[in-house]
Amino acid sequence: MKAHVYVTLKTSVLDPQGQTIQNALRKIGFTGVDGVRQGKYFVLSLAKGLTLEAAKAEVERVAREVLTNPVIEEYTYRIEE
């Protein structure tokens, strides 16, 4: 079982990297992209024998307490069987 965790800056927080990418896209000619938010992506390989419930609880905690800084970041995740 694997967990995929995505961490991005909160929408209320300025993202200069995302903006720079967006500006570059516009210059190159990708007019179909209206905005870019960049972030981090983690793949957690979960211990064998963990129930889905337990896995969710574990991943939630890891994401909330370690992988993100709640002042500026938020996360989503999905678990792959």
Partner 1 sequence: MKFGVLVFPGSNCDHDTYNVISEIAHQPVTFLWHDSEDLQNVDAVLVPGGFAYGDYLRTGAIARFSPVMQAVKRFADAGGIVLGICNGFQILTESGLLPGALMRNAGLKYICKQVHLRTETTNSLFTNQLTKGEVLQIPIGHMEGNYYCDAETLHQLESEDRIAFRYCTPKGEITREANPNGSLENIAGILNAGRNVLGMMPHPDRSSEKLLGSADGWKIFSSMVNALATR
What is the binding site for partner 1 (CB under 8 A)? Answer: 9, 12-14, 16-17, 20, 66-67, 69, 71-72
Contacts of 46 by beta carbon, 8 Å cutoff, 6+ apart: 1, 2, 3, 55, 58, 59, 79
Cβ 59 to partner 1, closest distance in Å? 16
Cβ 49 to partner 1, closest distance in Å? 26
Rounded Cα distance between 67 and 74, Å, is 9
Two structure tokens written together for 15: 């993202």
Q: Which residue, 17 or 76, has its beta carbon nearer to partner 1?
A: 17
Two structure tokens written together for 79: 């678990």
Cβ 46 to partner 1, closest distance in Å? 19
Q: Which residue, 54 or 72, has its beta carbon nearer to partner 1?
A: 72
